[in-house]
Every structure is written in structure tokens, then in C-alpha cells.
Amino acid sequence: MSTTALFRSIHQVTAAYQNKLAQADERRFQVSPPTGGWSYSEVYSHIFDLSLLSLQQLDKCLNGIGEARKTPFITKLILFFGCFPPAMKFKVPKSLESRVKKISKAEAQHLISQFLTELETYKPRIAQAHPEIKASHPRLGSLNASQWLRFIEIHLKHHLKQLERIDKRF
């Protein structure tokens, strides 16, 4: 997928988050489903906080701070197919678990705006990124700048599906 197509896709998925956010009732936004799991607010906290952290890793690649390591084969498959394997259940790494919290709709909108603003700063530079300079992902191994951008898109889409599952639990 081209860089332009990735940016377009990320913007489309983020717009879907914004639409869901606009339609969400503030009280329900905070409530965890009766069957357990994250609330809407916790999903928004997680996805946009980690998207911002992913941009920091992407920035390392663009600034030559990363490392030259191989990307694991399973990660290449995930990036190629554009989704996490259905049989694999990923949990938030322990190191990032404490970052997930209940936030207000206004805080969620602020995170989205911050993410989109930062994302745009990388648009002109990503195509020139050296493919061998990579930064570490806690589950997927080393990713270069383009792979980080693809991961962000996949991760956003993955959690959008999670919001749909939360809807069904209520």
C-alpha cells in the first residue's frame, strides 16, 4: 500500500472514530459493558494514546535513531494482510496497561486532534525514510517508518471492530 493510501485510510478510520464519538452519550461512553471488558472511553484512551506513541517510534526511524534488525515473518504477514490473525489474541503489554484509563468525550476528541496534527507532520518525510532503520514494537518486533504507519492503520481498524462488539454487549 502506498504512503498516500495509508494516510488516506488512517484519516478515514479516524473519521469513523470521530463519528462514533459524536454519537456517543457521555454516560454510556464511560460505562463498561455488563459482560465485562473495556468501555468506549478506555478503547479511545488506548488507541489514540498508543497511536501517539507509535508516531514517536516512527519518528525515531525518520531521525535515524532506530536499529537495523529484521522484522519477524509473522509481523510481515500481519502488515501484508492488514489485520491481526483471528486466532491470535493480543493483550496490552504490561508496560502499557497502566496507560489505559477512562476519559471524557472531550479528552478523547483532544487525543484524536493531537494524533491527527502529529500525523500530518510526518506526511512529507515518510517516503524518504530508510527501510533498514527500525524501532522496536513490544509485540511485533522491529518496524521501519512505513511499517509503523501500516501498524497504526491496522491497530485503528482492529479497535474500531472492538467498539462494534461493545455496542452489541449493551
Cα 169 to Cα 100, 101, 148, 155, distances in angstroms = 20, 20, 32, 21
Q: Which residue has the cell 501517539?
A: 52
Q: pLDDT tens for residues 86-143?
A: 766 667 777 777 789 999 999 999 999 999 999 999 999 998 899 999 999 988 999 9
pLDDT computed for residue 58 by the predictor:
96
Biggest CA pair distance of the chain: 48
Helices (H), 24-144: 26-30, 40-62, 73-81, 94-97, 105-122
Per-residue model confidence (pLDDT) at position 88:
61
- 56 pLDDT band, cuts 50/70/90, is very high
With a CB cutoff of 8 Å and minimum separation 6, the contacts of 52 are 111, 114, 115, 118
Task: For the chain, list the domains and their CATH numbers.
Answer: 3-169 (1.20.120.450)
pLDDT score at 50: 96
Strand partners, 143: 135
**pLDDT for residue 32:** 87
Tens digits of residue pLDDT in 58-97: 999 999 887 778 888 888 988 898 888 776 666 777 777 7
With cell 496534527, the residue in question is: 117
